[in-house]
Amino acid sequence: MFGYFDPLYMLILIPAILLSLVAQGLVSSAFARWSRVRNGAGLTGVQVAEYLIRNAGLQGVGLEGTPGVRTDHYDPASHTVRMSQDVASVPSVASMAVVAHELGHAQQHQERSVLIAMRNFLVPAMQISPTVSYMLILAGLLLNIAGLIELGIIFYGVVVVFMVLTLPVEFDASRRGLKMLRDTGLMQTTDDASGARSVLTAAALTYVAAAVTAILNLLYYISLANRRR
């Protein structure tokens, strides 16, 4: 939003967009492929979730539906996994992988993982930090008021910290999910193993792309502040 006429910003923006497009493309491709492959146990996403909750030592995890496509997520406030229709009702490898990942988050929450606790601590700040940072940086540029850009950079730093903390949280949730599938015997075929890893690896790349984009933006904002001095 600050660099339409700034060649440096375009040098940052174009790679960030390309990286995001590649990550989204890999997710769509992996999910489309493995959504057509039936998992070895022949269980829908809901059935996989119920089985893992019973057999993987998870306690009090709720299950709900959620509208949309690939909108599946774990809600730590209510200790609930919410599944989209194409995951909840389809007995595919992709559904099994997605549900296991979200239950990996539930396990993190149950075991009071330090990483997820740190990320959740930043959630309230994340609700205002992006907007406040953009407003402060823009005001600093337009009004040429000393310190506003630097203050905006500090607020944007919260965004970067959140994005970076998200990476190990997501990687760990996938690791936990795959382990639960193996330990409970749900990962029964080579397709189950390779497909689940493929889906979760592709999904993880979207978080990597988001973190890289946030870091590049932060570096650009710092360069703006340095050029204003």
Q: What is the set of active-site residues? A: 102
Do 220 and 8 touch, CB atoms closer than 8 A? yes
Give the pair of three-digit tokens for residue 24. Answer: 């989204």
Give the pair of three-digit tokens for residue 210. Answer: 């988001």
